[in-house]
Amino acid sequence: MAEKWLYWFEELGSEHNDLVGKKCANLGEMTGLGMRVPPGFAVGVAGWKLFMAQTGAGEEIRRYVKEKFKDHRDVGQQVAAGRVIRGIVESGSMPAPMRSDLEAHYQELCRRSGVDDVPVAVRSSGAVSMPGQMETFLNVIGTEDVVEHVIRVWSSAFTTRAIAWRVETGLDPAEAPIGVAVLKMVRPKSAGVVLTVLPTIGDTSKTIVEGNWGLGESVVSGEITPDSFVVDKQTGEVDQTISPKTQMVVHQKRGIAVVEVPAEIREVPCLTGDELREIVRVAHQVEDHFGVPQDMEWVVDDDLTCPENIFWVQARPAKYTAKKENDSEYLAELMTRLFQT
């Protein structure tokens, strides 16, 4: 009997990291906590292995790495390897039984969403967190595009950055089994991130929310200066900085585009007070559940009202600089940071 390789989020929890990757496991955990997570499913690591075995791509990649990719630390060879290996993966057609299973899950997601050819996000989900090293595809529509973009996410496990990371960590550059998250797109009014710690100074008494109009890719990528809301965990006091938001990422008929923000909302906060409080409330609950500061991604649905309009698409432990125990040492480092900016 073939190993199962497709899972609905409600079947998963954080203990399934090795089965479907961190992102999918966390989406399952969040679903189990009763958080508003867009409906979707995970393509498990077993799907990657099945595709590589049945198409022969895995053996072709191993042969290329053995014969052509001699110096794993040479940047030029890393670039060449990424280009060749991605071509190998993307030239393979998904075997018919796998395609049938994947298409059936997508059609069931359409039924659950009440939308024919529901737009989805197709996101990488590595067993080890590698932010920014693999690709995400947004507003993917229809069975053909879903199949194509799952393969493209598998291919993105062989970007130059991802190959270099595996070499540095002592992993086999020819092996990159990852999961894939397929989840319904939210029609976004605004989106962004929340961290339950100030990461540069390690202040766990504060939570920071950053956001922009449209999709959250403009915030995550650092391409714009987002609105910023620093919230005191004890008092709820908010220190906000509303930035002139000139660009945002939006849906097109297919895919996404960067467009100008309408002039009348450029300096308007991208969150209402109620939306901000709901984001912070849920983030603190998740921090309490996992026992460590969290780095989370939120989306505000333009079709709903608060609090039902807040959706969550990512949760992971936050990376941050530990706060100094010695006050003078802490203040000296903080002053150094300030003068360097």
Domain boundaries defined on the chain: 6-184, 188-340
The yes-or-no verdict on residue 155 having pLDDT over 50 is yes
The model's pLDDT over 178-210, given as tens digits with 9 standing for 90+, comes to: 999 999 999 999 999 999 999 999 999 999 999
Contact 131, 25 (CB under 8 A): no
pLDDT at 302: 94
CATH assignment of 188-340, among 3.30.470.20, 3.40.50.2000, 3.40.50.261, 3.40.50.300: 3.30.470.20
**Is the pTM value of this prediction over 0.75?**
yes
| Strand pairing category for 6-8 and 136-140 | unpaired
Quickly state the pLDDT bin for 329 (edges 50, 70, 90). low
What is the average per-residue pLDDT within 271-299? Answer: 96
Give the contacts of 320 (CB within 8 A, at least 6 positions apart): 195, 197, 198, 199, 200, 202, 293
Q: What residues contact 247, with CB distance under 8 A and at least 6 apart?
A: 218, 223, 224, 258, 259, 260, 261
- Evaluate if residue 142 carries a pLDDT over 60: yes
For the residues 49-66, what does the mean pLDDT come to? 96
Average pLDDT over residues 157-173: 92
Please write the tens of the pLDDT for every residue from 95-141.
999 999 999 999 999 999 999 999 999 999 988 766 567 889 999 99
Q: Is the pLDDT of residue 52 over 70?
A: yes
Q: Which pLDDT value is given to residue 172?
A: 93
Please report the pLDDT score of residue 131 as a whole number: 59
Residues in CB range of 114: below 8 A, 6 or more apart? none
Phi-psi region of 117 (alpha: psi -120 to 50; beta: other; left: phi over 0): left
Percent of the chain exceeding pLDDT 70 equals 93
The CATH number assigned to the domain with range 6-184 reads 3.30.1490.20
Does 333 have pLDDT greater than 70?
no
CB atoms under 10 Å from CB of 329, counted, come to 10
Residue 339's pLDDT is what? 46
Mean pLDDT of the chain: 91
Provide the b/e sequence for 254-281 (b: ≥16 CB within 10 Å): eebeeeebeeeebeebbbeeebbbbbbe
